[in-house]
Amino acid sequence: MTAGRTAQLTRTTSESSIELSLDLDGTGQSDIHTTVPFFDHLLTAFAKHSLVDLTVKATGDIDIDVHHTVEDTGITLGTAIRQALGDKTGIGRFGDAHVPLDEALARAVVDVSGRPYLVHSGEPEGFALHLIGGHFTGSMIRHVVEAITFHAGLSVHLTVLAGRDPHHIAEAQFKAFARAFREAVEPDPRVSGVPSTKGAL
């Protein structure tokens, strides 16, 4: 097991203030307070199903929109993941998961490649404009996963395969991402060094 895969970050702008800590080798414990309730729900699910211990304290200009707080939290989470991964020695690197939530089904494939890339598809028409919980726009799912992906240096394919209820569609995507991420960053005892023919990720 790789030791010390943790990070603690603070990010402050004129739009938000984020304090975040994580442990990649945790048990899925979380303490999430972003002032955006549905986003708290998604981050809690991410922690639980990735087995990452995650603490987030965020405030921002949600009187304008949740956009800045959600985006800046995603940026901070991605940066923390990248720091905690270090040189990526001994990880499995790839992860793949299908996760259902009632009628919804999502698939996520993660490569800890060091090359940020997101392919996101399958959300039904109208999902991006739907207010989940009356405050969280469906379009924020792609936006926050993109922020995490870019700043963590991940290549992610995230696909909605089925779904009708916007809450289920959003949550299934986060859970699938979490499960695939868990597999990708898990130490593999058979891996020697960095899992790349280039010798670096």
CATH number of the domain to which 176 belongs: 3.30.230.40
Give per-residue pLDDT as tens, 150-159: 999 999 999 9
**pLDDT at site 199:** 82
pLDDT surpasses 60 at 1 = no
Identify whether 122 is part of a domain. Answer: yes
176: in domain: yes
- Over the chain, what is the mean pLDDT? 96
Does the residue 199 lie in any domain?
Answer: no
Residue 114 resides in a domain? yes
For 119, other C-beta atoms within 10 Å of its C-beta total 11
Give the DSSP letter string of 122-171: -PPTTGGG-EETTTEETHHHHHHHHHHHHHHT-EEEEEEEE-S-HHHHHH
12 — alpha (psi -120 to 50), left (phi > 0) or beta? beta
Show the tokens assigned to 76.
Answer: 């901070």
pLDDT at 2: 46
Cβ pair 110, 46 in contact under 8 A:
no
In a domain, 165, yes or no: yes
**Using an 8 Å Cβ cutoff, are 78 and 145 in contact?**
no
In a domain, 200, yes or no: no
Based on the structure, what is the number of domains in the chain?
1
Residue-number span of the structural domain to which 14 is assigned: 6-185
Whether 195 maps to a domain, the answer reads no
**Per-residue model confidence (pLDDT) at position 81:** 98
Q: Residues 78-123: pLDDT tens digits?
A: 999 999 999 999 999 999 999 999 999 999 999 999 999 999 999 9
